[in-house]
Amino acid sequence: MKIAFFDAKPYDRAPFEKYAGAKGLDIVFYDVKLDESTVGLARGFDAVCVFVNDVVNAAVIDALYAFGVRMIALRCAGYNNVDVERAFGKIHVFRVPAYSPYAVAEHAMAMLLTSVRRIHKAYNRTRDFNFSLNGLTGFDLHGKTAGVVGTGRIGRVFIDICRGFGMRVLAYDKFPAKDSGIDYVSLDELLAESDVISFHCPLTEETNHLINAETVKKLKKGVVLINTSRGALIDAEALLSGIKERRIGAACLDVYEEESDIFFRDFSGHIVEDDTLARLISMPNVLVTSHQAFLTEEALDAIAETTVDNLLSFENSGVCANELCYRCGNIEDCKKKRLEKCF
């Protein structure tokens, strides 16, 4: 099996070479992202392997299908960048639903602690031998209320971490986990009562701009927002306005709505043309990391292993437990239980 691997980074290669080599797969790594201008590189391959910022729209899918590509292997959990409906009947799409929920949840908490205890500012000061504590006052997490939007594996790990800090936890999920002991409330109640809100839900039509000009008005004054999920859950302009109005106390962003042409690249020494991102980064109470939450050795290893297993499972049996199929109307939860091909 020949696989075209797009948007390859140095940290991708070692784990994929290990698992693909052991299973006899032939991977060609491309530094460029997959989109309409680069899809020609996939000609002659059986599958493509893509990440969060690759563009797998209708035009790209049609081109891949014409080239004889049979499989699209996402090396991530989210799939909002793939036109799954267009792929149905043409190309089978797989994802990695869980690799290390601890990696993402721990990064969310790391960002929160860094922000509220001003650790990043203290680090910069002491490197200049400035040992003043002025302006570094934070607040205890103990006793505060954490709101968690999305209670899948990552959300639940984050809940456990918050409880370990002695925080009260409220949660919102369209599909609450039964017998979980989680205190579910309405979204409006969560927004109004939470001192900290962390997002761990997929990007869908319903969750797009979950934080917008209207919902910002419902937030508890001084709230800290954490987003390690998908950038478009938060309207960046509404976030800026909320910060300037002192409604939002701080923001910790590992993702950004318009990140696809910026994140994972080095722009030091260049002018970033995205004025909204530049303004956010300039804010003293905004912390931005570049879609880094997943980046642990354990997660990279699990991603490579699951991606390779997805491809081989389908190649050998015609069935993959992690296929995204449009046939049932419920993309993630196939009614056929993956016992036979969707098409």
Q: What is the mean pLDDT of residues 310-335?
A: 81
Residue of 106, 257, 259, 305 marked catalytic: 259
Distances (CA, A) of 131 to 123, 125, 241: 10, 7, 33
Asked if domains 2-99+297-324 and 101-288 share a fold, the reply is: yes
Residue 342: per-residue pLDDT? 74
Sequence-distant (6+) residues with CB within 8 A of 148 are 155, 158, 159, 162, 169, 170, 171, 172, 197, 198, 200
Helix (H) or strand (E) holding 105: helix 101-116
Residue 330: per-residue pLDDT? 63
What is the rounded average pLDDT for all residues in the chain? 94
Percent of the chain scoring above 70 in pLDDT: 96
Distances (CA, A) of 104 to 72, 193, 195, 261: 24, 24, 20, 22
Residue 338: per-residue pLDDT? 58
Residue 261: per-residue pLDDT? 84
Residue of 92, 230, 305, 323 marked catalytic: 230
259 is catalytic: yes
Q: What is the mean pLDDT of residues 197-202?
A: 96
Residue 343: per-residue pLDDT? 78
pLDDT bucket at 117, cuts 50 / 70 / 90: very high
pLDDT bucket at 335, cuts 50 / 70 / 90: low
Helices 297-317 and 101-116: crossing angle, nearest 10°? 150
Distances (CA, A) of 132 to 113, 114, 124, 137: 20, 18, 12, 11
Domain-wise residue ranges, the chain: 2-99+297-324, 101-288
Residue 326: per-residue pLDDT? 75
Q: According to the per-residue pLDDT averaged within each range, which of 17-21, 167-171, 326-330 is highest? A: 167-171
In the predicted structure, residue 71 carries a pLDDT above the cut 90: yes
Domain 2-99+297-324 = CATH 3.40.50.720: yes
Residue 12: per-residue pLDDT? 95
Please compute, for residue 140, the number of CA atoms within 13 A of its CA located in the half-sphere on the CB side.
Answer: 8
Q: Could you report the per-residue pLDDT of 214-243, keeping only the tens digit for each?
A: 999 999 999 999 999 999 999 999 999 999
Q: What is the mean pLDDT of residues 57-70?
A: 98
Query: What's the CA gap between 250 and 116, in Å, rounded?
Result: 8
In the predicted structure, residue 336 carries a pLDDT above the cut 90: no
In the predicted structure, residue 300 carries a pLDDT above the cut 90: yes
Domain 101-288 = CATH 3.40.50.720: yes
Query: What's the CA gap between 252 and 109, in Å, rounded?
Result: 10
Q: Could you report the per-residue pLDDT of 145-192, keeping only the tens digit for each?
A: 999 999 999 999 999 999 999 999 999 999 999 989 999 999 999 999
43 is catalytic: no
Residue of 75, 86, 291, 323 marked catalytic: 291
Cβ(86)–Cβ(58) below 8 Å: yes
107 is catalytic: no
Three-state SS at 4: strand
DSSP characters for 168-236?
EEEEE-SSPPTTS---B--HHHHHHH-SEEEE-----TTTTTSB-HHHHTTSPTTEEEEE-S-GGGB-H
Residue 332: per-residue pLDDT? 67
